[in-house]
Structure 1
């Protein structure tokens, strides 16, 4: 059956010779999907993977702050932080923020900030020092922390003290 492309003009038969558009795919049944709001993509990703709204921004922030004392740092090879970073032109600081990745690692019992923007590694000290550094970074907001662990540590979950 032919349908006119435009009603009320001479283009009624213009679709002859044109290929048919593919049929629209049906929507998957009841797939939970949160759309991006503000800069909450980590929260949206968690909820989308879990297929329900389990996490809020506040809950995710609390989880990020609470495991600091529960991290089994000797089991962690290193940490990678994604932080807001100011933009400057010489001495002039611009009101823009970009994201910057920073590595933290323990070497010979001392934790270091291995930020590639530093002239040299910055000693953070022992576990208390690295926890203080992480707490300060998280307190600034918009900070993400990734743990780098071996496959064995990840599978057993021993990077976190449960008591």
Structure 2
């Protein structure tokens, strides 16, 4: 039915768990928990307090942990290189997009001792289609998902983002990885 409202699963930002929220938005349900992602962290680094994969108690998971989580469900990440055109991808064949963007953290930056221990300010968000036609921004900092529009609108949206400061990843099933190989 064309007028049927699409049900969207959206998690709002809590602590520094944007990576967790992004993963669950990709799957449109709670698939992962903080404990699950922490278990992936501990496969790489047994340290409970200071490690390069997350921030103690609050999350702030890095790319390796998100990759491990996705691999556990049969998915892989494929980076979109800065020289690649967004128009060349078949977004309907992927689970969605993960973006890692720079965020301003003026308070943290103003405290020298905290700034020296804090990781750079970055934020994970998901963009995906739920109905196979329209794309949504599932940024956990938004009060609700934001409609981007159709694939042409998605490409225009992505082209407006800073290609140097933003990291773009396509989430695809392992079986489809060859279809997305860089040419």
The TM-score normalised by the length of structure 1 is: 0.50
1 or 2 for the larger relative contact order (CA 8 Å, sep ≥6)?
A: 2
Structure with greater proportional strand content? 1
Q: Which has the higher helix share?
A: 2
Higher CA-based Rg:
1
When normalised by structure 2's length, the TM-score is 0.45
